[in-house]
Amino acid sequence: MALSPQWLDELRARVTLSGVISRTTRLTKAGHEFKACCPFHNEKSPSFTVNDQKGFYHCFGCGAHGDVIRWMTDQRGLSFMDAVKELASEAGLEVPAPDPRAAQAAEQRDGLHDVMKAAQDWFVAQLAGPEGDKARAYLATRGFDAHTVQRFGFGYAPEGRQALKAALKDLSEANLVEAGLRIAVEDKDPYDRFRGRLMLPIEDARGRVIAFGGRILDAAKTDAPKYLNSPDTPLFDKGRTLYNLHRAGPASRQTGRVVVVEGYMDVIALACAGIADAVAPLGTALTERQIELLWRLVETPVLCFDGDAAGQRAAMRAITRALPLLRPAHSLKIVRLPPGLDPDDLIKQQGVAAMEAQLANARSLVEVLWEHERDAAPLATPEDKAGLKARLLAHVETIADRDIQSLYRRELLERFSAFAFPRREGRDWRKPIAPARQGPRTHRAPPRDALSAAILTGLIRFPDQIHRHADVLGQANLPDPRFEVLLDAADFAAQLESGAMEPILAERGMATPTPEEYAAMRFGFLADAIPPEQARAELAQAIHLLVERPALEAALAAATKRFESDLSEGAYAEQQRLLKRKLEFDARLRQMASARAGAAQSSPAKPMAD
């Protein structure tokens, strides 16, 4: 079976080499590469490296070297076709059926490369000729010197519907049409696609011309698009291609960064300023495939958008495309340039240092997502705020990785709660409280009894119960300030996992119960063996006791004082009734406090008799 080089390149691009090798060989991250002890010979120190960006492995000890297919044949012992079929199945690629036409198609693509090379040479020649005056003048206004013009392959497509065809008369009409250079219309003669335009070649990862972009030079032609790209062809798929990738890839290995800008002129302007690690999509929003290509270079590409409304829309389109693809350590950063400026404008007005500063201060994906949705509509009513929360959670639901989805939900709901429901006394619950002048940096709460400490621990263990009991606890006037922190988080605590409140308390300089303190809390709802639903029910009973106790104690103290001054039968009866309730309360509390020992022996736990 004849497999085309293009198909094999696509297979290699869809499979992460380190992911395949790590199934049988333990890899350790080392900069942009992975290292391991070589699986092909015995060694004590690692000399085997895996480079996902370059797509190969290499051992400096024994010389083993190859790509992902070679790994499958040499390390797994598979035949070439069996290796290809297994990798294709993982990558979701269909192996081409044995068909002589496949070989013919491969030959045809090779022929199209020759067509594109001939067209590029002709465009370059036209730029240097008499008809290229206007194009050369435009390049001068952009500040592109002769080296830049030559490096990026600028050319010129002259006016005339048949100029290119006349120049490339030895090439077939069919190939010129299939390469996207000519347009064939039914019942009309074919004509040149690019006319009166500054031409720029679009190259693949191997530096071969696969398409063209053309900028119109006659401003009077308002009915024509300013920029015109080649259509999709057997060589060119705009959703799978990034302009300048073959130059930016090597540069990014030096900088550890790759910058995505809106257009190829922005790429060239950055290159002129010494920023060589920039790429651009080609007339479309950033696609999923392009994001994957970027992640093969760096884990967190920087997207740089113009500071206008269109740039903001482009940023959000990229974010919504990226959310379902997010995986550990792989994300995007966003730069939004000052209003009205593109990269070239910013560099010319403020210098390359200003551009580098913008890139260095790129914001996280989650921050830009939050700000966009927060500012998308007025938030004057509860319904408006509910709409904001719904939009945020709708974005979260698109994230496929469950760990990242959970973390995004927490982060966005924290921001939503802090924004939509201002904290008590104007404080932000996320800002640490300044410790006392003579106190330790991490301070503990004032002395507290076992019941309130156990309930605090129970709420940390079951944060979904904070919102359920927030109103009752809020009226209890509890002295421990950590309860206030938990209540401030009530709006989003239902979304948190067990233990997630601990770092929130830590951010405010508040400690959680130590293991020794926890072991001393003998309440059943803290036992590991008790079923979660039973624990939540017993926690609710404990909260009821906590809230009831101050009122009961206050009433008993008032009745006792009244009896001491009154000595009437009615005052005595009231004091005795409240005293009986207090004794019953204490008995219930002792029973609940002794339940943990029983829970540790059996599940579900049963309260022990007093």
Residue 157, in any domain of the structure: yes
**353 and 245, same structural domain?**
yes
DSSP for 263-278?
Answer: SHHHHHHHHHTT---E
Q: What pTM was estimated for this model as a whole?
A: 0.59
Residue 311, in any domain of the structure: yes
Residue 54, in any domain of the structure: yes
CB count, 10 Å around CB of 87?
22
What sign does the dihedral 519-522-524-530 (CA atoms) show?
Answer: positive
- Indicate if the pLDDT at residue 489 is higher than 80: no
Cβ burial, residue 265 (10 Å; 0-12/13-18/19+)? buried
**340 and 231, same structural domain?**
no
**249 and 207, same structural domain?**
no
Long-range residue pairs from 428-432, CB within 8 A, at least 24 positions apart, any chain: 429/485, 429/488, 429/489, 429/504, 429/508, 430/504, 430/507, 430/508, 431/507, 431/508, 432/507, 432/508, 432/509
Task: Name the residue type at position 470.
Answer: A
Say what the pLDDT of residue 106 is.
59
Say what the pLDDT of residue 284 is.
77
Residue 252 sits in a domain of what CATH number? 3.40.1360.10
Residue 312, in any domain of the structure: yes
DSSP for 24-89?
Answer: TS--EEETTEEEE--TTS--SS--EEEETTTTEEEETTT--EE-HHHHHHHTS---HHHHHHHHHH
Kindly report, residue by residue over 454-476, the tens digit of the pLDDT. Answer: 877 877 878 777 777 777 777 66
**162 and 27, same structural domain?**
no
Classify 426 in phi/psi space as left (phi over 0), alpha (psi -120 to 50) or beta.
left
Structural domain containing residue 589: 450-599
Residue 354, in any domain of the structure: yes
- Indicate if the pLDDT at residue 228 is higher than 90: yes
Give the whole-angstrom CA distance, residue 215 versus residue 576.
95
**221 and 83, same structural domain?**
no
Final residue in a domain of this structure, among 64, 91, 118: 91
CA 516 to the chain's CA centroid = 40
**183 and 157, same structural domain?**
yes
Query: In which element (H, E) is residue 211 found?
Result: strand 209-216
- Indicate if the pLDDT at residue 55 is higher than 70: yes
Q: Which two tokens stand for residue 544?
A: 């009821």
Give the lowest-confidence range in 86-100, 123-137, 250-264, 524-538: 524-538
Give the whole-angstrom CA distance, residue 523 versus residue 516.
14
**399 and 274, same structural domain?**
no
Kindly report, residue by residue over 493-552, the tens digit of the pLDDT. Answer: 566 666 667 777 777 677 776 655 555 556 767 777 678 788 788 777 777 777 777 777
Say what the pLDDT of residue 190 is.
93
Cis omega (within 30 of 0) for bond into 96: no
Kindly report, residue by residue over 307-332, the tens digit of the pLDDT. Answer: 777 888 888 999 999 999 999 989 99
DSSP letter at 196 equals S
Final residue in a domain of this structure, among 361, 381, 406: 361
- Indicate if the pLDDT at residue 186 is higher than 90: no
Final residue in a domain of this structure, among 184, 204, 236: 236
Give the whole-angstrom CA distance, residue 485 versus residue 473.
12
> 204: closest CA among 271, 284, 116?
116
Residue 313, in any domain of the structure: yes
**467 and 402, same structural domain?**
no
- CB of 36 closer than 8 Å to CB of 43: no
Domain total of the chain: 5
**572 and 461, same structural domain?**
yes
**309 and 337, same structural domain?**
yes
**573 and 495, same structural domain?**
yes
Mean pLDDT over each residue of the chain, to the nearest integer: 82
Residue 156 sits in a domain of what CATH number? 3.90.980.10
Residue 21 sits in a domain of what CATH number? 3.90.580.10
User: Which ranges of 200-328 would DSSP assign to H, the alpha helix?
Assistant: 245-255, 264-272, 288-295, 309-322
- CB of 111 closer than 8 Å to CB of 103: no
Strands 182-183 and 155-157: unpaired
Q: Calculate mean pLDDT across residues 68-84.
A: 84
Residue 444, in any domain of the structure: no
Q: Which has more pLDDT, 362 or 221?
A: 362
Residue 607, in any domain of the structure: no
> 246: closest CA among 3, 427, 9, 556?
9
Task: Name the residue type at position 173.
Answer: E
- Indicate if the pLDDT at residue 278 is higher than 70: yes
**267 and 217, same structural domain?**
no
Classify 378 in phi/psi space as left (phi over 0), alpha (psi -120 to 50) or beta.
beta
- CB of 311 closer than 8 Å to CB of 285: no
Give the whole-angstrom CA distance, residue 497 versus residue 589.
28
Kindly report, residue by residue over 6-54, the tens digit of the pLDDT. Answer: 888 889 888 899 989 998 888 999 888 899 998 887 778 888 999 988 8
